[in-house]
Amino acid sequence: MKRTCDNWQDKLPVGKSGIHLYEEFELRAKNVSTEVFHVKRADEAGKIILDIVKETGAKYVASVWCPLVEASGIVDELKDNGIIVYTEQIDIAENIDITDMGISGVEFGIAECGSVCQDALAIETRLVSSLPPLHIAFMESRNIVPEIGDAIDIISGFFTEGYVSWLTGPSRTADIERVLTIGVHGPGRLVIIAVDEGMDGGAV
Amino acid sequence: MSKRRNLKKEIHEKLNDEVLRDALGRFAEEYPVAREKALENIEDVETLRESLKSMKRDSVERISELADRFEEEAIRHGVRVFRAKTGEDLKQYILDLCKERGVKCIVKSKSMASEEVELNPALEKAGIEVKETDLGEWIISLAGHRPSHMVLPAIHLNRYQVSEYFSRELDKSIDPDIAFMVQTTRVALRESFLNADMGITGANFGVAENGAIGLVTNEGNGRLATTLPRIHVVIIGYEKLIPTMKDATPILRLLPRNATAQLMTSYMSIISGPTPIMVKGSDGWKEDKKEIHYILLDNGRLTAAHDDIFKEVYQCIRCGACLNVCPVYELVGGHVYSGHTYMGGIGTILSAFTGGMKEFEDFNALCIGCRKCTTVCPGKINIPDLIEEMRIRSVKENGLPFAVSKIFDVMTNRRFFHGLLRVASVAQKPFTSGGLVRHLPLFLGGMTKDRSLPAIAKIPLRDRIGDVIKKIEKPAKRVGFFSGCTMDFVFPETGENVIKVIQDLNMEVVYPEGQGCCGKPVSATGDVEYTKKLAMNNIEAFEDFDVDVIICACPTGVEQIRDYPHLLEDDPESKARAKKMADKVEEFSSFVAREYEKTGRLKKAAKKADAVKITYHDSCHLKRVLGIYEEPRKLIESLEGYELVEMQDADRCCGMSGAFGVQHSNLSIPMLTEKMGKIKKTGAEIVACACSGCMVQLQGGIDQQTPDKKMKHIADILAENIKDQKAI
């Protein structure tokens, strides 16, 4: 899978980023209608996602690989529950317009504005996070930077080529009578699953 | 389009457009609160604005270097770059590209620059299907309108109108339910996204050091337009270039907060180089590389960049905050208060560069000069000053209209002009008709049912001073009094009170009779030559009297005199004399407050049980140019007989602003009515202000709308409260 950066984890500012910013991040994310779930281990995500599947009646899911998605075991769990899950690039491309839910990983959160930063170079990552009506994003809860400026500093450190997106709540518009309405062209729901369990094996 | 616009007619239509008035009225009320809230978690907003401003200033200083680097880096990463000098060049490039690549369907994400060059009609004429995908842009494209706001292009339409456009486009009945219409948009435009061969987007910034662009959207159409079609064309104006990635920070912190009161928009993407796409061929799906083109658009922008004054427009990040707080925009919207593309005060300047001087001349008079926009602009652009500067250029290029120059001939002949005013006090009628009136100082204008304009006083201040001016033994200061025309001929009693308050400070007052018009009504039209004459007249009038300080109880007069050295800078001798005068001028209320402070008179008084409620109106120029708003309030609070009650939006323009109030009475009166409503809500008996221009307007509103209230200048209030009335 193509990445703008091979190791985002190493780029986070030591001492500045961390789980101490989680509360502020969660507050700001929820303020813009992001649904946030905080779990200790990735495998706890299964129940959350299955509940959403039940609630929405989702039948087709597209999921792109990331360490947390893998650790959650969600792809197999969904399949066991009779859901069709696309994980290969060509399957995603072929079926994205009928997909009910996209699953992907994001690199870090920004406390100041409740955004998450996604390495969106891989086409499949962009497809699953921008076309289906619902997008579920996995994030490590310790990977949160304080401000927009810190996030730009990280990107500035290595970025020459690629595609990076910040996602902040669901797709929205206020173009008719300034009435806030969600789900125009992008997902009408953004769900973030913040996982404490560190992917390099360390506890948080 | 060589015909001149009929602005009066356009304004009239919009004032009667209830949908527009309702939408903009609510927006104007809600926006400042929402913006304030969005800025809450920024520690120091001023420092952040300053950093945006200096970053953008630095960028425009080396715009050629940035453009070269941006181009070089983009090419290095595999992007094709085209520099379009004009809109025609831009359109031709895209048309050629479409032809070469067999493009049949284009999806567009919002780009004001493409509106500016009228890209869509050119593409459609060539048989290419173009879909605007931003909901607001799509709506207005269906309606055949231009955007009426930079961020909310369809703010002038309501749900019922939108449902009609949708029903017509989709050939079925669409309910006027907003959520449903948004879903309908999603479905209708999704097809276009999936089928499009090309995506066209704007850019919120372009980074010179790596050739990347940044895109800020809420709907997600930007991400789709850059992800699905095989070709991506970016239309980016030179003003969007920034040196480094890190320079995006102040833009990203301020743009969403100011534009839509969001801490961040739903999507912000930074893209550089050809990114992967999926292409379906005969052998199925395959990953490929996207083809990317950057079109760097000039169309007047580089002229602005290389202009010492107007390079300031590069500080604009197109957030629209200036529109959102503009009282004139609130009344007429962005179809009237705009040139071909850009709206409001900033649009007035941008139009001069992208459309030409004629476009500017057609609507620049709509800037009332209240300067509210300067308090919110994230790039700290002095929009009203730039408009005044552009007026000067326009007069230099094309001269003044004949009728106006005739009036200025009259005004610069002080004796003749004052003679006319005296005649007017006896026979006011003859002056209320004919072409002269519109351009003469405001008090010669007409009356309306919601505002009476004050009569010219029977005896002007200049004929009363003999009775008021007293000999002061051992005066602390010798004070020259510059009254300005309004105080002289309309409110001479207030002028007398100014003198009394100063004499009560044990200061001697002198009133040079040679003084005349400060020059503001003339300089506001962009004329320099007549303004210079008026300035020289006042300089001469005062330099014979050896005064320590010159007091003016009208902020515009203070501002104008302080500008004399700049006005006369071409002649070193005149400039030096002007500077002498300018250095001495002080605004009345702040001067008195300082003197009261020295003797302990400024401290807050204990209120009397029967204290009279009083509310204070901030004059635009007193607050936002001179920075004086605490002093008048402190003066009121130092008096035991008054209880100060604040009105909502005390610093919102009353609608006068000199000649504007008469010339555009149809705009001025609604602003006055709004102000009167806020005054009524306070329950105050007295309305105070410290500006004779505002007094004209508020007095007129009180007469017609709330006759139970009294209008007073701070000088009137202070004079009435001087303990020993006999002594003054």
HEC profile for B683-718? CCCEEEECCHHHHHHHHHHHHHHCCCCEEEEHHHHH
* Shortest CA gap A116–chain B (Å): 10
* Shortest CA gap B261–chain A (Å): 12
Q: Shortest CA distance to B408 belongs to which of B568, B521, B557, B514?
A: B521
Given a cut of 60, whether residue B434 has pLDDT beyond it is no
Distance CA B42, CA B250 (A): 11
Which of the four pLDDT bands, split at 50, 70 and 90, describes residue B164?
very high
Range B129-164 burial, b when 16+ CB lie within 10 A, else e: ebbbbbbbbbbbbbbeebbbbbbbbbbbbbbebbbb
Q: Scanning every residue of chain B, which has its alpha carbon at the shortest distance from the alpha carbon of A186?
A: B220
Contact A160 B260 (CB under 8 A): no
Distance CA B204, CA B239 (A): 10
Across the range B674-681, mean pLDDT stands at 96
Contact B263 A176 (CB under 8 A): no
CATH number for A14-195: choose from 3.90.1150.10, 3.40.50.10420, 3.40.50.300, 2.30.130.60: 3.40.50.10420
Closest Cβ opposite residue B285 in set A94, A114, A115? A94
Best interface-test mutation with A: which of B69, B182, B252 has the largest number of A CBs within 10 A? B182
Distance CA B26, CA B158 (A): 13
Best interface-test mutation with A: which of B29, B109, B218 has the largest number of A CBs within 10 A? B218
Q: Is the sign of the CA dihedral A147, A149, A150, A152 positive or negative?
A: positive
Whether B348 contacts B692, CB under 8 Å: no
Contact A159 B272 (CB under 8 A): yes
Question: Which residue would you say has higher pLDDT here, B238 or B5?
Answer: B238
pLDDT digits (tens, 9 = 90+) for B506-535: 999 999 999 999 999 889 889 999 999 999
Which residues in chain A are closer than 8 Å to B189, comparing Cβ atoms? 185
Which residues in chain B are closer than 8 Å to A126, comparing Cβ atoms? 223, 227
Contact B182 A176 (CB under 8 A): yes
Whether A75 contacts A87, CB under 8 Å: yes
| Per-residue pLDDT at B93 | 98
Contact A165 B267 (CB under 8 A): yes
pLDDT digits (tens, 9 = 90+) for B12-49: 999 999 999 999 999 999 999 999 999 999 999 999 99
Which of the four pLDDT bands, split at 50, 70 and 90, describes residue A204?
very low
Contact B178 A181 (CB under 8 A): yes
Across the range B355-381, mean pLDDT stands at 96
Contact A32 B210 (CB under 8 A): no
- The two tokens of residue B243 are 């040196």
Which residues in chain A are closer than 8 Å to B269, comparing Cβ atoms? 120, 163-166
Which residues in chain B are closer than 8 Å to A177, comparing Cβ atoms? 23, 158-159, 178
Across the range B269-276, mean pLDDT stands at 97
Which of the four pLDDT bands, split at 50, 70 and 90, describes residue B2?
low
Phi, psi of B550 (to 5 degrees): -115, 125
| Per-residue pLDDT at B635 | 98
Q: Scanning every residue of chain A, which has its alpha carbon at the shortest distance from the alpha carbon of B70?
A: A160
Distance CA B349, CA B346 (A): 5
Contact B264 A113 (CB under 8 A): yes
| Per-residue pLDDT at A203 | 43
pLDDT digits (tens, 9 = 90+) for A141-188: 999 999 999 999 999 999 999 999 999 999 999 999 999 999 999 999
Contact A172 B219 (CB under 8 A): yes
Contact B267 A172 (CB under 8 A): no
| Per-residue pLDDT at B439 | 34
pLDDT digits (tens, 9 = 90+) for A16-59: 999 999 999 999 999 999 999 999 999 999 999 999 999 999 99
Residue B217: count other Cβ atoms within 10 Å of its Cβ: 29
Contact B218 A171 (CB under 8 A): yes
Contact A112 B41 (CB under 8 A): yes
Which residues in chain A are closer than 8 Å to B219, comparing Cβ atoms? 171-173, 184-186
Given a cut of 80, whether residue B430 has pLDDT beyond it is no
Q: Shortest CA distance to A148 belongs to which of B685, B473, B539, B253?
A: B253
Strand partners, A135: A102, A190
What is the amino acid identity at position B103? V
Closest Cβ opposite residue B266 in set A148, A161, A172? A172
Contact A123 B276 (CB under 8 A): yes
Distance CA B112, CA B114 (A): 5
Contact A112 B268 (CB under 8 A): no
Residue B267: count other Cβ atoms within 10 Å of its Cβ: 28
| Per-residue pLDDT at B444 | 46
Closest Cβ opposite residue B249 in set A2, A131, A152? A152
Contact A162 B135 (CB under 8 A): no
Sheet with B241-242: strands ordered across:
A144-145, A108-110, A115-119, A162-167, B267-272, B213-217, B205-207, B241-242
Across the range B539-546, mean pLDDT stands at 94
Across the range B558-567, mean pLDDT stands at 97
Write down the domain spans for chain A: 14-195
Across the range B223-229, mean pLDDT stands at 97
State chain A's maximal CA–CA distance in angstroms. 50
Across the range A65-87, mean pLDDT stands at 97
Which of the four pLDDT bands, split at 50, 70 and 90, describes residue B437?
very low
* Shortest CA gap A118–chain B (Å): 9
Closest Cβ opposite residue B269 in set A159, A165, A187? A165
Percent of chain B exceeding pLDDT 90 equals 85
* Shortest CA gap A43–chain B (Å): 28
pLDDT digits (tens, 9 = 90+) for B441-499: 444 444 556 777 777 888 999 999 999 999 999 999 999 999 999 999 889 999 999 99
Which DSSP state fits B451?
Answer: B
Between A and B, how many residue pairs show a Cβ–Cβ distance under 8 A? 187
Compute the mean pLDDT over every residue in chain B, rounded to the nearest whole number: 93
Distance CA B582, CA B314 (A): 31
Which residues in chain B are closer than 8 Å to A160, comparing Cβ atoms? 77, 210, 272-273
Q: What is the ipTM of this complex?
A: 0.97
* Shortest CA gap B370–chain A (Å): 26
Phi, psi of B677 (to 5 degrees): -60, -40
